[in-house]
Amino acid sequence: SASHTWPPAEASGLVAWVLDQGASLLVSDGRHDARCCNAAGEVMAGSAMAAPLLVGERLLGVLEVHAAQPNTFSESDLLILEVAARQIAAALESARFRAEHKALLEETRRKLDEISTLYQVAQEVTGSLQLDEVLEMVVQAIRRALNCRGCCVFLLNPSDQMLEIKAAAGLKPEWRRAARLALGEGIAGRVAASLQPLYVPDVQAYPDYVVFDPEVRCLLAVPLQARGRLIGVLNVDHTQPHAFRPEHEHLLTVAASQVAVAIDNARLYSELLSEKQRQDEFLAIVSHELRTPLTCIQSSVSLLLEDEPPEGETACEFLEIIQRQNERLILMVNNLLNATRLEHAELQLVRQPVVLTELVLRAARRLRLLAEEKQITVHTELPDESVTIVGDGDWLEQMVVNLLDNAIKFTPSEGEVSVAVQVMPQEVGVTVRDSGIGIPAQELERVFDKFYRVPDQPSNAPRPRHGSGLGLYIVRRVVEAHGGHIRAESTPGAGSTFTISLPRGNATLDNATPSAP
């Protein structure tokens, strides 16, 4: 057997001599030759002969023949044995060569299959930049390559850090919907937490296995990483235990690196398309938002310049229209200019003592006419004493103006908006509340993104399409530039609350923050 060592421990004296000398041996009378006796001195053969199995100078073994009677073999017999030994040695060497050649061919074939599989996976996953298509091609290609029962891709949800199946081949729909794992939970969760492959030859013997489908007996999972971060887990399974070999793990690990890059590219492409769509929508909105107040101003001015212009209250109404629309234009142009400055981070804050209570009153007065246009009541809730902080007064006023403008835009006619200042030992708070349409919980974090506008919800009435998606983005940047923080809370249909906390003083200058708008 290939697992035994040579020479064997129980080799006879005859064999041991041939191994030591590397020469043939003929013993005519074993009764008087210790090489034909065992350890107890018992005669094991009346006569014997042995020849080495040699290939060149390499000894493969010994060919031994013995008989019970003395003087059974002659020198001629020994010559025949030597010829037989040479032929046997040549046959053994040929068999060994064929076995090695077969193993080499199998290894070469396996590597070619692996390269072919990886090439096929690479071709399929790079054939599209649509994430859903990429994921579907991945699971189908790997399932075919490994001839396994099922293949699925878990992707990490950044919002709640849960692993969710986003594509699967061979899985039953009910198990696909049910599979949702935390980091460290189940096989996929452990792989995601450790960033190491995990092979479970028999899931019934594995205590941490989370059962989704009782048909699964064997499972192999590898992490998906792109740009140094975890994005998910690639998982294959089989109905038979011990179905996967080490080469399968190697193949899946290499394939996972290709898959992760393809998924990351598809995501980046999707984000790029979304950004372009937001910018295109932004340009359309800005064009409309600029055209509307300009049209109102032009109409009002034309009426005031007629041969018989309106007088008294009617003239005042037209002047108020011009003033309101002019304020709307100023807000929009300021936001456009400020967003550009913030994007390039070219400017710095001019810090000085600012009376925050007076600043809030100024901001509310600036938007009085816009609120009156919708019959919205704006309440100010201020401390009895003035509140002073260190910051850039112009940017802070723009911050409050944008919050109030946002509240007025999304509050129906005859609604209410309030702005309050709260004093704390080290901070001051500014809170703007409205009785508007509210914001869905899943959109609260995104309302501060540049160009982002909350989409219509299926169960609600369409949202007003006002605004450029820059106002709250500027608010967040200004708050962060002053070392503060902002949070949004909302109940759809009942209004929203934006709360800002700002340090009262000793703010450090940030080179990436803006100067006065």
CATH of the domain at 410: 3.30.565.10
Task: Provide the domain count of the chain.
Answer: 4
In a domain, 120, yes or no: no
Radius of gyration of the chain (CA): 42
Please tell me which residue, 318 or 391, carries the higher pLDDT value: 391
Q: Residue 285 has what pLDDT?
A: 63
Single out the residue of 56, 52, 61, 53 nearest to residue 5, CA to CA.
61
Pair 427, 396 in one domain: yes
Strands (DSSP E) found in 400-464:
416-423, 427-434
The helix (H) or strand (E) run that includes residue 408 is helix 393-409
Pair 380, 294 in one domain: no
**pLDDT at residue 393 greater than cutoff 70:** yes
**pLDDT at residue 288 greater than cutoff 70:** no
Pair 206, 176 in one domain: yes
pLDDT in tens, 232-242: 999 999 999 99
In a domain, 47, yes or no: yes
Pair 355, 474 in one domain: yes
500/404 Cα distance (integer angstroms): 13
pLDDT in tens, 460-481: 544 554 566 788 888 898 898 8
**pLDDT at residue 116 greater than cutoff 80:** no
Number of H helices, E strands in the chain: 11, 16
Pair 456, 467 in one domain: yes
Pair 369, 463 in one domain: yes
Which of 272, 295, 314 is the last residue in one of the domains?
A: 272
Can you give the CATH number for the domain in which 64 is found?
3.30.450.40
Chain CA centroid to CA 461, Å: 34
Please tell me which residue, 156 or 303, carries the higher pLDDT value: 156
In a domain, 108, yes or no: no
Listed in sequence order, the residues at least 6 apart from 246 whose beta carbon sits closer than 8 Å to its beta carbon are: none
In a domain, 508, yes or no: no
Pair 194, 214 in one domain: yes
Pair 268, 286 in one domain: no
**pLDDT at residue 4 greater than cutoff 60:** no
In a domain, 204, yes or no: yes
pLDDT band of residue 281 (cuts 50, 70, 90) is low
The domain in which residue 312 lies consists of: 273-326
> For 191, left (φ over 0), alpha (ψ -120 to 50), or beta?
alpha
pLDDT in tens, 14-73: 888 888 888 899 988 888 888 888 877 788 888 989 999 988 888 888 998 989 899 999
